[in-house]
Amino acid sequence: MSGGFLDQIFLRAKEWLLSPLAGAPDWLIQIVSSLINISGVLGVFLTLFALISVLERKILGRMQNRYGPNRVGPFGLFQPVADGIKMLIKEDVVPARADKVVHFFAPILVAATAILTLGVIPYGRNMTPFAIDGGILFFFAVGSTTELAVFMAGWGSNNKFSMLGAMRAIAQMVSYELPLLITTLPVVMIVGSLSPDAIVAAQDGYSFGILPHWFVTTPWGAAAFILFFVSGLVESNRTPFDVPEGESEIVAGHMTEYSGFKYATFFMAEYFGMFAISGLAATLFLGGWHSPIAALNSAHSRRSNHELRLEIHASDGVHLYRRCRRLALPGARSGRLALVADSDRNRLSHAFAPP
Amino acid sequence: MNSVAFLIIALITLSGAFAAATLRKLIHAALCLVIAFVGVAAYFFLLGAEFVGLVQVFVYVGAVAVLIVFTILLTRREVNGTRGINWSGATVALAVFGGLLWTILKTKSLAIAAPQIEPLTVKRIGEALMINYVWPLQCVGLVLTAALIGAVVLVMEEKR
């Protein structure tokens, strides 16, 4: 494991947790390791969901010249706890002629797909919960299952408003899957790999010590990032694309007939979807877990410190030119359109080798 | 470990498919068919073809299943249709299954151990598509474009 102490602190904690199982069979260690990954992801994102929901209400309140929630804890920060308890003790109302099985499984499926997409995003060096080779494709494949779950919610409620809301939500999500995928294509073509880890590793390095080699700093990356951002807004049903939640038109859309904890599950799944899309945007365009300033890296990681010194000593202008040329003409260097993986080419060898 | 996973996925897929064939409500049957699709994708993952498994989820669960449920939604007349076990269909299915089983068991090449092929990466698929199979790829693209244009034309004529 490369990197300094602080860089890999979560991995070391996980190793410490797994150390009692040193002599156990391989499959048991794999299962426990996966369980630790899952509980870590869930713990972090549930806490973040709680914090973000209260922050959103407070910020929206401030924009509207009022306080947000400020009664429950210090500055109202324990409001999600009160909300959670309220949702739990509410009566679970299911319409009499609703399709009980479909009505029950819809929020579960929506939440499950949202949490699955959170699993392929690299959160740090060597810190991807499920590092599979087709990570980006996995993200979009599972994301497209969300439409089926929304349809189940709309149909299972036996309610015309729910059905209409579900149709609108599905139409919106299906329409904007296309720009979402197409804006991901340049990144995949440049990197030559569908693995999020490879995409993040390709954005390593800094020019002049301050300009990170994130894809958003390239012209094509900036354009793709803007389009990806807008498509991500649509996929998460956020303003100005919150047609599925248009309260004056279709009540609550496909979530109309859900009360109590099932509604909280929908709410949570929406926020998890937002986290996942934002995480993917960070992975694809904003350098993943790479910091924006080179100086922040040297604080905790010895390996990138070494690389940093070599970058500064090499001719930064030439390197920047070569990088732009390489990134602007993917076909010219390799000579054919196939996805030739060159993500394993070392950055250092690229800086010193002839083009 | 491999055979345990195989058995579990087989149970899930077969029960999903059986439920899809025999459930009373059509939407329930369609959703159980989705379980069968996911089971087949799990088989692709077990065999080391990750890309194919993911595309299976993407295309079948994300698109074909949505198409099926929309079709059921837009064309149903009665929700509680009288379905149940179709005995003639079940007989035909059992006969086909028996024939396939006999054929597979009689195949001599089963005794040879399968060669250890490396896991199928996207890079190899891309190279094969662009170098060896570039003409079939272009033909498939042409057929898909024709299908898309046909679908748009069909919808347009209804609105006039």
A341 touches chain B (CB under 8 A): yes
Are residues A84 and A104 located together in one domain of the fold? no
Please say whether the beta carbons of A80 and A231 come within 8 A: no
pLDDT above 80: residue B113: no
Residue of A nearest to B41 (CA): A141
pLDDT at A246: 63
pLDDT at A45: 94
Degrees to nearest 5, angle at CA A331 with B50 and A350: 85
Q: Percentage of chain B surpassing pLDDT 90?
A: 42
pLDDT in tens, A87-104: 999 988 888 888 888 999
pLDDT at B80: 60
Task: Give B-chain residues touching A140 at CB under 8 angstroms.
Answer: 58
Quick one: average pLDDT of B126-149? 92
Quick one: average pLDDT of B82-89? 72
Chain B closest-CA separation from residue A111 CA (Å): 16
Is the confidence metric ipTM above 0.95 for this complex? Answer: no
Task: Give A-chain residues touching B25 at CB under 8 angstroms.
Answer: 99
Are residues A109 and A49 located together in one domain of the fold? no
Q: Which of A60, A89, A118 is the last residue of a domain?
A: A89
Are residues A75 and A99 located together in one domain of the fold? no
pLDDT at A184: 94
Confidence bin at A260 (pLDDT 50/70/90):
confident
Name the residue among A283, A347, A286, A304 with its Cα closest to residue A209.
A304
Higher pLDDT, A89 or B77: A89
Task: Give A-chain residues touching B121 at CB under 8 angstroms.
Answer: 133
CB distance A148–B65 less than 8 Å?
A: yes
Task: Give B-chain residues touching A165 at CB under 8 angstroms.
Answer: none
Return d(Cα B141, Cα B146) in angstroms, integer: 9
| CB contacts < 8 A (A, B) | 73
**Other C-beta atoms lying within 10 Å of the C-beta of residue A109:** 20
How many DSSP H helices and E strands does chain B contain?
7, 0
Residues B20, B21, B25, B31, Cα dihedral to 10°: 10
pLDDT at A242: 76
Confidence bin at B70 (pLDDT 50/70/90):
confident
A171 touches chain B (CB under 8 A): no
A29 touches chain B (CB under 8 A): no
Return d(Cα B27, Cα B73) in angstroms, integer: 8
Are residues A44 and A159 located together in one domain of the fold? no
pLDDT at B83: 63
Is the domain spanning B1-83 CATH 3.40.50.720? The answer is: no
3 state SS of A291: coil
Quick one: average pLDDT of A18-24? 79
Quick one: average pLDDT of A326-343? 38
CB distance A339–B25 less than 8 Å?
A: no
pLDDT above 90: residue A280: yes
**Other C-beta atoms lying within 10 Å of the C-beta of residue A131:** 15
Residue length of chain B: 160
Bridge partners for A212 per DSSP: A206
pTM: 0.81
Interface test with chain A among B61, B72, B122, B138, by most A beta carbons within 10 Å: B122
Higher pLDDT, B158 or A274: A274
Task: Give B-chain residues touching A152 at CB under 8 angstroms.
Answer: 31
Sign of CA dihedral B98, B102, B103, B109: positive
Residues A325, A330, A336, A341, Cα dihedral to 10°: 120
Interface test with chain B among A97, A133, A136, A155, by most B beta carbons within 10 Å: A133
Q: Percentage of chain A surpassing pLDDT 90?
A: 35
Are residues A99 and A65 located together in one domain of the fold? no
Please say whether the beta carbons of A184 and A285 come within 8 A: no
pLDDT at B15: 94
Task: Give B-chain residues touching A137 at CB under 8 angstroms.
Answer: 51, 54-55, 58, 122
Return d(Cα B144, Cα B138) in angstroms, integer: 10
pLDDT at A14: 86
Are residues A17 and A150 located together in one domain of the fold? no
Confidence bin at A23 (pLDDT 50/70/90):
confident
Confidence bin at A335 (pLDDT 50/70/90):
very low
Task: Give A-chain residues touching B127 at CB under 8 angstroms.
Answer: 338-339
Return d(Cα A260, Cα A107) in angstroms, integer: 12
pLDDT at A348: 34
CB distance A155–B123 less than 8 Å?
A: no
Quick one: average pLDDT of B53-79? 86
| Number of domains forming the structure of chain A | 2
Are residues A82 and A107 located together in one domain of the fold? no
Return d(Cα A69, Cα A76) in angstroms, integer: 5
Confidence bin at A20 (pLDDT 50/70/90):
confident
**Which residue range is the domain that position A7 belongs to?**
1-89
Quick one: average pLDDT of B107-126? 73
pLDDT at B79: 58
pLDDT in tens, A57-82: 999 999 999 998 988 888 888 999 99
Quick one: average pLDDT of A212-226? 90
Confidence bin at B125 (pLDDT 50/70/90):
confident
pLDDT at A243: 74
User: Which stretch of DSSP H or E encloses residue A206?
Assistant: strand A206-207
Chain A closest-CA separation from residue B65 CA (Å): 7
Higher pLDDT, A346 or B22: B22
Q: Which residues of B touch A (CB under 8 A)?
A: 1, 25, 27-28, 31, 34, 50-51, 54-55, 57-58, 61-63, 65-66, 69-70, 73, 121-123, 126-127, 130-131
pLDDT in tens, A136-186: 999 999 988 998 999 898 888 888 888 888 888 888 888 899 899 999 999
When CB atoms are compared, the residue of B54, B63, B69 closest to A151 is B69
When CB atoms are compared, the residue of B55, B58, B66 closest to A170 is B66
pLDDT at A317: 46
Higher pLDDT, B32 or A252: B32
How many DSSP H helices and E strands does chain A contain?
15, 2
Domain boundaries of chain B, sorted by first residue: 1-83, 121-160
When CB atoms are compared, the residue of B69, B121, B131 closest to A133 is B121
Structure tokens at B13: 């897929």
pLDDT at A249: 63
Interface test with chain B among A105, A147, A172, A188, by most B beta carbons within 10 Å: A147
Kindly report which listed range (A4-13, A35-44, A65-74, A285-294) carries the lowest average pLDDT score.
Answer: A4-13
Task: Give A-chain residues touching B69 at CB under 8 angstroms.
Answer: 148, 151, 155
Interface test with chain B among A26, A147, A337, A339, by most B beta carbons within 10 Å: A339
Q: Which of A47, A65, A89 is the last residue of a domain?
A: A89
Mean predicted lDDT score pLDDT of chain A: 80
Are residues A124 and A6 located together in one domain of the fold? no
A235 touches chain B (CB under 8 A): no
